[in-house]
Amino acid sequence: MILASVALAQRALRVTLRRPQFLAPLLIFPSLLLAVNTGGLSQATSLPGFWEQYGVTAPYPSFFEFQLAAAMSQSLLLGGVATGIAVALELEMGFFDRLVAAPIPRASIVLGRLLAAGAIALVQLSWFVSLSLIFGSGIADGIPGLIEVYLIGAIAGIGFAGIGVTLALRAGNASTVQSIFPLVFVVLFLSSAFFPPNLLTSPADLIAKWNPLSYIANGLRAPIIGASGTSDVLEGFAAAIGLALFFGLLATWSLRVRLQSK
């Protein structure tokens, strides 16, 4: 199963790299929002209690560094949608039926796609790390912090891809998967990706507390702003791993249900 999964992951990566129109929005949209937020909301860091809950002391990081994790989270979420659309297109074109007929374990069809999503997540994260270096920020916790960012981001990318694959297998068409695009921003803004949870008002603060994306964003943010000694990194890992396991299993179950219904 491992060999089949790796082969399918390599194919998915080749298809993605041959079609930059699928990859570009995952980088461009979050980058534009990062620029807008950094330019228009930078004075938010002067609000009382903005940095204290992260365990960061003066001199404080820039608002750009704070928002970098939000941009990464948005990009990873969009990557999950893109994965779902890619799977739905393969269903519509009949390639999925050829995969099912091939002498490979059925679970490798899902696992291969999730592995490819994890690899693409590394590319997405590298883009934003490059932006941080270009604009003189970098990762405050150095190489260990960079490794933490890549691990949390890649695992979270697999989890978000699991959501997309599940939706594609249940819906069976790309238009339905595309319709969840606005929900990405709902999930984002109802989390602590853009602002600290103690500055959110009710009911957004309560929703953010139960939103796994809040913990993933904080886990990505901690090494960037120099707060990896806090519990945010461990909570980020826990949320990302839980998301990947749950939706990976759900996607596999959705594949089984689809095959049984034929």
More confident residue, 153 or 37: 153
Over range 242-248, report the average pLDDT: 95
Task: Identify whether 45 is part of a domain.
Answer: no
- pTM, two decimals, is 0.92
pLDDT at 156: 96
State what percent of residues in the chain have pLDDT above 70. 97
Q: Is residue 126 part of a domain?
A: yes
Distances (CA, A) of 145 to 5, 77, 243: 30, 22, 22
Domain region containing 115: 2-38+62-260
162 in a structural domain: yes
Find tokens 């238009």 and name the residue: 175
- Cα–Cα dist 193/156, whole Å: 14
Residue 53 in any domain: the answer is no
pLDDT band at 105 (very low <50, low <70, confident <90, very high): confident
Q: From the centroid of its chain, how far is CA 169?
A: 20
Token code pair at residue 90: 């393969």
Confidence label for 162 from pLDDT (cuts 50, 70 and 90): very high
Q: Is residue 46 part of a domain?
A: no
Kindly state whether residue 55 falls inside one of the protein's structural domains: no
Q: What is the pLDDT of residue 262?
A: 62
b/e for 144-157, b at 16 or more Cβ within 10 A? ebbebbbbbbbbbb
pLDDT tens digits for range 116-140 = 999 999 999 999 999 988 887 778 8
Task: Give, as one character, the DSSP assignment of residue 194.
Answer: S
Give the H or E element holding residue 107.
Answer: helix 107-134
Count of structural domains, the chain: 1
Non-local (6+) Cβ contacts of 201 within 8 A are: none
Counts of helices then strands in the chain (DSSP H, E): 11, 0
Higher pLDDT, 187 or 51: 187
* pLDDT greater than 70 at residue 58: no
Q: Assess if residue 90 is contained within a domain.
A: yes
Q: Is residue 215 included in any domain, yes or no?
A: yes
Quick: pLDDT tens for 220-233: 999 998 876 778 89
